[in-house]
């Protein structure tokens, strides 16, 4: 496997040249004095060094060794505890954390780049800090000041980690039917009892304490989602002076033996009257969880992007070195017995597909992160509202589309390696195994598609969608004629998406099956159209600077490939979506 190199040049291009994020920060007083272009560059440069040098080398060994469970204790692979302590000591576990409690206070658009680097280097390792960051978001937004002051500083410092305990053996997507109970106590605490499964980082040896956020029901809770509360349940009790006390009444019953992310401990957690503290008000648990959900789902999308980037870096190095056959137009390297495989059209098709999807995904995930920052930090109510509605609309696209195309890019990387991609030594097969979970957790991609079309498009009467469509139209209407090769197909793509949206809004009124039947294809059409917008924005910048550096000419070539070879996929997807739901229900259940 090639050594991981953080794509810093492309990150700087997206942040500073395409989106000019410093202009956004200057309009947000909470960020204006916190971050600038120089700070951003320094953070990304240093993060890239630490991650590539300390964490990336553990990726393959961590996969081969995996986690182990013995009598309730979980041991992570060799090197993980030391690497985590070094990573935390550098402050990297708190890039986006609230500065009042020891975090760096950086905007999401910066922490998103650090997440990409970390997950490219070692997805299993990155999951521990990702879940901690999610727990911190919920605590910071909904917990009492007492709980914030007691738990956030050590979580941000990486002295403790966090976990999110939602899923139960019988309840995954449908959290309204969870059975975990919380009994109120005279001192204001609660006794939490129940079993949770698939808990990332529920038990491990990286830190001295683990803080679990657990969904549970109070005795008098109403049925369904409206009767769920959220509780903070520490592994080790925390004394009033901040020191650690006795072990709480909880345990890790086992860990899962998984297809991938083997160095990430995926635990069965048993709570046996464990002491917990309510976060927010009773029966407001799902709302508290959803505070972090947009961040987490974007984070999973970034995981897909990260693995696609790592696959590309491996594949391009191999394609330049591996010699097989001669170029179709004749020998390219007369000094060798054969030409490097990068001369072959199909290898170039796969490499360019990977490159175009990765770079489009980096721009799109950064764009969504900017909306999160605007929704959080803007002082203008209308601006915050628009940004939040864009976040709500685009989050399922970011989670599902980035991870769906990530599987394509990791498979392309494996294919370029040929037989070497199928064996362990080159590392490509691990990327595919690790990538597969990204399409499943934080809500399967089919659920994301239903969320996009059912809740965000149909549920808002098309209002959320209108924000995005109008922004793209404003861009194409104002674009210079020199950009026509990109804006004209973008106009056609948004017109196609608008027609699909209108048709589905109409059909859904009379047949509820239409939403589910078309949702996945609709999300993919939306994704390719969103990437087309990103590529048009990048092409605008690259066109104006193409004489300065080969970087910009490379960017233009990749943009042209995207519009010529990838954007046309929307036509077959649209045709499938328009076919309706009838063919899905021609067979009875016993005919399958």
Asked about 442 being catalytic, the answer comes back as: yes
Which is it for strands 250-255 and 266-279: parallel, antiparallel or unpaired? antiparallel
- Local structure of 471: helix, strand or coil: helix
Of the residues 442, 485, 514, 521, which is catalytic? 442
* 134 token code pair: 């999610």
Spatial contact of 367 and 19, defined as CB atoms under 8 Å apart: yes
Structure tokens belonging to residue 314: 């491996």
Closest CA to 55 of 143, 110, 128: 128
* Both structure tokens of 459: 């549920």
For each of the chain's 592 residues, which pLDDT tens digit applies?
A: 789 999 999 999 999 999 999 999 999 999 999 999 999 999 999 999 999 999 999 999 999 999 999 999 999 999 999 999 999 999 999 999 999 999 999 999 999 999 999 999 999 999 999 999 999 999 999 999 999 999 999 999 999 999 999 999 998 888 889 999 999 999 999 999 999 999 999 999 999 999 999 999 999 999 999 999 999 999 999 999 999 999 999 999 999 999 999 999 999 999 999 999 999 999 999 888 888 888 899 999 999 999 999 999 999 999 999 999 999 999 998 999 999 999 999 999 999 999 999 999 999 999 999 999 999 999 999 999 999 999 999 999 999 999 999 999 999 999 999 999 999 999 999 999 999 999 999 999 999 999 999 999 999 989 999 999 999 999 999 999 999 999 999 999 999 999 999 999 899 889 989 999 999 999 999 999 999 999 999 999 999 999 999 999 999 999 999 999 999 999 999 999 999 999 999 999 999 9
What's the Cα-to-Cα distance from 383 to each of 16, 374, 376, 486, rounded to whole Å? 22, 7, 10, 28
Containing H/E element for 231? strand 229-234
The single residue listed with the structure tokens 């509605």 is 389
Closest to 501 in 3D by CA, of 473, 528, 464, 475: 464
d(CA 539, CA 523): 24
551 φ, ψ to 5°?
A: -55, -45
Place of tokens 């002491």: 275
Beta strand 266-279 with 190-200 is: antiparallel
Q: What are phi and psi of 268, to 5 degrees?
A: -95, 120
Q: Which of 6, 8, 51, 15 is nearest to 36 (CA)?
A: 15
CB 67 within 8 A of CB 264: yes
Residue 353 phi, psi (nearest 5): -60, -45
DSSP string over 485-548 = HHHHHHHHHHHHHHHHHHHHHHHHHH-THHHHHHHHHHHHHHHHHHHHHHHHHHHHHHHHTTTT
pTM (whole model) above 0.75: yes
- Of 165, 127, 158, whose CA–CA distance to 289 is shortest? 165
d(CA 162, CA 130): 9
Q: Cα 333 vs. chain centroid, distance in angstroms?
A: 42
* CA-angle at 465, arms to 559 and 175, nearest 5°: 110
Q: Provide the phi-psi class of 72: left if phi over 0, else alpha when psi is between -120 and 50, else beta.
A: left
């Amino acid at each position: 496997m090639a050594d991981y190199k953080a794509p810093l040049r492309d990150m700087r291009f997206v942040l500073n040249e395409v989106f000019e994020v410093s202009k956004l920060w200057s309009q947000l007083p909470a960020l204006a004095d916190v971050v600038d272009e120089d700070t951003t560059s320094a953070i990304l440069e240093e993060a890239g060094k630490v991650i590539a040098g300390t964490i990336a080398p553990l990726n393959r060994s961590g996969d081969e060794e995996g986690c182990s469970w013995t009598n309730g204790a979980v041991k992570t692979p060799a090197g993980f505890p030391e690497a985590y302590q070094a990573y935390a000591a550098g402050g990297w576990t708190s890039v986006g954390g609230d500065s009042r409690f020891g975090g760096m206070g950086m905007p999401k658009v910066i922490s998103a780049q650090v997440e990409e680097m970390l997950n490219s280097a070692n997805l299993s390792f990155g999951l521990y800090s990702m879940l901690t960051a999610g727990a911190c978001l919920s605590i910071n937004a909904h917990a009492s000041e007492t709980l914030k002051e007691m738990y956030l500083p050590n979580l941000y410092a990486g002295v403790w980690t966090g976990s999110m305990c939602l899923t139960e053996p019988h309840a995954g997507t449908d959290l309204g039917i969870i059975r975990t109970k919380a009994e109120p106590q005279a001192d204001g605490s609660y006794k939490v009892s129940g079993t949770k499964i698939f808990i990332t980082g529920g038990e491990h040896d990286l830190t001295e304490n683990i803080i679990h956020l657990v969904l549970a029901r109070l005795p008098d809770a109403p049925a369904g989602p409206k009767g769920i509360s959220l509780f903070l349940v520490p592994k080790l009790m925390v004394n009033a002076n901040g020191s650690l006390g006795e072990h709480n009444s909880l345990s890790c019953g086992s860990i899962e033996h998984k297809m991938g992310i083997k160095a990430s401990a995926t635990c069965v957690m048993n709570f046996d009257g464990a002491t917990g503290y309510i976060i927010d008000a009773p029966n407001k648990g799902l709302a508290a969880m959803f505070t972090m959900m947009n961040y987490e789902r974007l984070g999973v999308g970034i995981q897909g992007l990260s693995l696609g980037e790592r696959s590309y870096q491996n594949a391009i190095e191999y394609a330049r070195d591996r010699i097989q056959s001669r170029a179709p137009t004749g020998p390219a390297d007369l000094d060798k017995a054969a030409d490097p495989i990068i001369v072959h059209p199909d290898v170039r098709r796969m490499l360019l597909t990977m490159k175009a999807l990765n770079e489009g995904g980096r721009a799109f995930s950064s764009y969504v992160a900017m909306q999160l920052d605007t929704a959080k930090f803007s002082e203008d109510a209308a601006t915050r509202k628009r940004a939040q509605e864009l976040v709500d609309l685009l989050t399922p696209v970011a989670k599902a589309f980035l991870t769906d195309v990530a599987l394509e890019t990791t498979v392309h990387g494996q294919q370029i390696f040929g037989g070497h991609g199928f064996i362990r030594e080159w590392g490509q097969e691990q990327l595919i195994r690790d990538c597969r979970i990204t399409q499943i957790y934080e809500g399967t991609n089919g659920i994301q598609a239903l969320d996009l079309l059912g809740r965000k498009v149909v549920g808002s009467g098309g209002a959320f969608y209108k924000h995005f469509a109008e922004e793209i139209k404003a861009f194409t209407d104002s674009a210079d004629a020199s950009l026509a090769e990109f804006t004209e197909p973008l106009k056609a793509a948004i017109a196609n998406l608008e027609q699909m949206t209108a048709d589905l809004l109409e059909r859904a009124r009379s047949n509820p099956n239409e939403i589910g039947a078309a949702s996945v294809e609709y999300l993919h059409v939306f994704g390719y159209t969103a990437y087309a917008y990103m590529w048009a924005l990048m092409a605008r910048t690259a066109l104006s600077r193409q004489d300065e550096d080969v970087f910009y000419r490379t960017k233009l070539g990749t943009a042209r490939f995207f519009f010529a070879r990838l954007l046309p996929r929307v036509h077959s997807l649209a045709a499938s979506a328009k076919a309706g739901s009838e063919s899905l229900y021609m067979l009875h259940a016993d005919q399958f």
